[in-house]
Homo-oligomer: A and B are copies of this chain.
Amino acid sequence: MDDTPQSSRVSSTDQDAHARILRAALTEFTQRGYKGASTRGIAERAGVNEVTLFRHFGSKLDLLRAAVEQALMQMKIPQDLEPYLHGTLEQGLSQFISDYLLQVTAQSDILMLGFSEAFSQPEISDLLREFMWKMRGMIVRYFEAMRERGAIKEGDYPILAHIIMTSLHGAASMRKRTPIEMAQLSDERLTGCLVKTIVDAYARYAPDSPIHDTQLT
């Protein structure tokens, strides 16, 4: 009698129920998996009655779909390579990778969910794979643009893109899951090492001499 359910509704920044349920669903699904998450739990977390959840989304599976769809929509794939083609190879690559890592970290919930639920929810993993595919294509195109400018050597760009994506994704998910910091796996350190390695391995000219600053663009 003391605390009315309304209080919790107001406390949740007063978004409409729809959005609150979506957010709650995503975190519950992520933390507990699809099977492990309960509609009751999601409703509680959203500060909403369980019935409202069903009125909005019909079924648990539809809720999952909606949550994933919405989350992937928010995940922006850089459509334009221009910003990353200025300056040194190192500068461009750094910017590119840290931008990507930002996205991955922010949306690591949905990525992890997609990975862990890939087997049981094919449609979800399709969405995810499509995203990964696009992202990979983007990175490959970035490398090709760099090669056309004479900044980097030939290489197995798709695999290189895969390495970049998986190591960033692995770091993001590890940071989410494990209480301890797996060896101070900071964004800066990771991107730094990744960029340095790629630059040292693929830069056409000695990486220490910033030759290409003017040439690029």
Contacts and interface: CB of A to CB of B under 8 A. Distances in A.
A199 B169 CA distance: 24
Contacts of A185: 159, 162
Interface in A140-194: 155-156, 158-160, 162-163, 165-167, 169-171, 173, 177-178, 180, 182-183, 185, 189-190, 192-194
Interface of A: 31-36, 112, 115-120, 125, 129, 132-133, 136, 155-156, 158-160, 162-163, 165-167, 169-171, 173, 177-178, 180, 182-183, 185, 189-190, 192-194, 196-202
B120 A32 contact: yes
A173 B115 contact: yes
A185 B159 CA distance: 7
Contacts of A120: 31-33, 36
A192 B169 CA distance: 21
A105 B85 CA distance: 37
A167 B163 contact: yes
B36 A189 contact: no
B170 A158 contact: no
9 tightest A-B contacts by CB? A166-B170, A116-B116, A200-B201, A35-B35, A201-B201, A159-B193, A156-B193, A163-B167, A118-B177
A180 B133 CA distance: 12
Most chain B C-beta atoms within 10 Å of own C-beta, residue among A119, A133, A158: A119
Contact of A166 (B34, B166, B178, B183): B166
Contacts of A199: 201
A90 to B, nearest CB: 13
Nearest to A184: B158
